Homo-oligomer: A and B are copies of this chain.
Amino acid sequence: MARKKVKLAFIENATSRKATSSKRTKGLVKKTQELSVLCDIDACAIIFAKDAQVPVVWPSSEAEIKRIISNYRDNSDMYQLQRQLDQQSLSEVNVIKTEEKVERIQRKNRDLQIENMVTDIMTGKSTIEQVDPCDLSDLILVLENRMKSVQHRLKVFGKNSNPRSQGDRTMEASTSGANHTSQ
């Protein structure tokens, strides 16, 4: 933005590209920070230069950025729904189609919810006791199927792996137990 108007296209010259990248990255981070402070907004920037070892991120606190990202991820489906609805009404498609779409998306959301609960329980993040009673029967159904499948896979794998049948890769499974926390 100075000395000359720059047109919005990849800067071929590596030197000036580097300079621009460095200056603008700094500027972008500053702007992100300012917006966040001035308006008390959750904002994050992730800038991932191809040759850099480390992405420039803001906020610099790992915890804070994870909170913002997971916030984004958790609600992403909802926003997708909202966006699709907006598009629907803009293009004035009839109401029935919209309702069908909502139903489909809600169904998908429901499945994802159960999916997440199952994951949380199977990984110990939450216990069955914490689950809303309404979700219990669905949950236990999925959970039991999941358990069966894992048990089956464990059993099958136990049979196959005894005579070392892992293709052509060298196996060190039997000796790696000793140093399993110090690799």
Contact = CB atoms under 8 A, between A and B. Distances in A.
B45 A45 contact: yes
Contact of A149 (B111, B124, B135): B124
A113 to B, nearest CB: 9
A182 B10 contact: no
B46 A138 contact: no
A182 B24 contact: no
A48 B54 CA distance: 24
A182 B106 contact: yes
Contact of A45 (B25, B32, B71, B166): B32
19 contacts: A10-B39, A11-B38, A21-B38, A28-B28, A28-B31, A28-B35, A42-B46, A42-B48, A43-B46, A44-B45, A46-B68, A46-B72, A54-B79, A119-B122, A122-B122, A134-B171, A137-B180, A143-B150, A147-B154
Interface of A: 6, 8-11, 17, 20-21, 24-25, 27-28, 31-32, 34-35, 37-50, 53-55, 57, 62, 68-69, 71-73, 75-76, 79-80, 82-83, 103, 106-107, 110-111, 114, 118-119, 121-124, 127-129, 132-138, 140-141, 143-144, 146-147, 149-151, 153-154, 157, 161, 166, 169-174, 176-177, 180-183
Closest 10 A/B residue pairs (Cβ): A42-B48, A136-B173, A21-B39, A138-B180, A133-B171, A122-B122, A137-B177, A128-B157, A43-B47, A110-B183
